[in-house]
Amino acid sequence: MKRIIFVFVLTVSVFMTSGCGGNELDAMFNRIEDEENVTMVVTMKDLPLFGTIEFQTLIDGEKEAHTGFMTDYYVFTHEGERYRLDEDETGVWRKSPYEETEEDAEDDIEVEDLDASMFEYDDGRYVLMEEYYETVFGDDSLRELEIEILDERMIMYTTTVSDGMTIYTEVEFKEIGTTEVILPDYE
């Protein structure tokens, strides 16, 4: 599960950078960064025991909604503090402090580690050159990272290997500038 979260955090980190090669790609990154709201649909394929799983993250400024694989929750900022909302067994949404764990922070990719020269454009996709795999992922798990831009959305494709297991991930970024998160009533 840590590898799944790592791949997602990596994908978001790569996505939020603005210098990843190609005018079209730069324009998409800049648009998303400027808009500060987007819907991300993550699909992981061929997972042992699970097959295909999908989860979704909606980002609307300081509010996030996370739905899908075994969990639904919200994260938001209020008066400078981050909170998480979880639904209890009675259907009541409960607020608790939200803190990024040290493990989460270790998985983040620093923006300064990425450069436009790391990507090549090939057959309609931006492809991370192999010599940068370890630079981007911090280990030797990455086998492929490609980005495709289709109309008003972007899809990232990654292939990673962890503990002998190959993980294929697609992350679709859509509803750029129009994603809206409405927090439920909570206690």
Single-letter amino acid, residue 146: E
**pLDDT tens per residue, the chain (187 residues)?**
444 444 444 444 444 443 444 578 777 877 877 888 999 999 999 888 889 999 999 999 999 999 997 889 999 999 999 999 999 999 999 999 998 765 454 444 443 355 567 889 999 999 989 888 877 777 767 788 898 999 899 998 988 888 888 889 999 999 999 999 999 999 9
**Rounded Cα–Cα distance for residues 154 and 149 (Å):** 4
Residue 144 CB coordination number (10 Å): 13
Q: Counting beta carbons within 10 angstroms of the beta carbon of residue 171, is it exposed (0 to 12), middle (13 to 18) or buried (19 or more)? A: buried
State the residue for tokens 């990654």.
Answer: 158
Cα–Cα separations (whole angstroms), residue 19 to 15, 112, 122: 10, 9, 18
For 77-113, give one letter per residue: b (16+ CB within 10 A) or e: eeeeeebbbeeeeeeeeeeeebeeeeeeeebebeeee
Single-letter amino acid, residue 52: T
Residues composing the chain: 187
Q: What is the pTM of this model?
A: 0.78
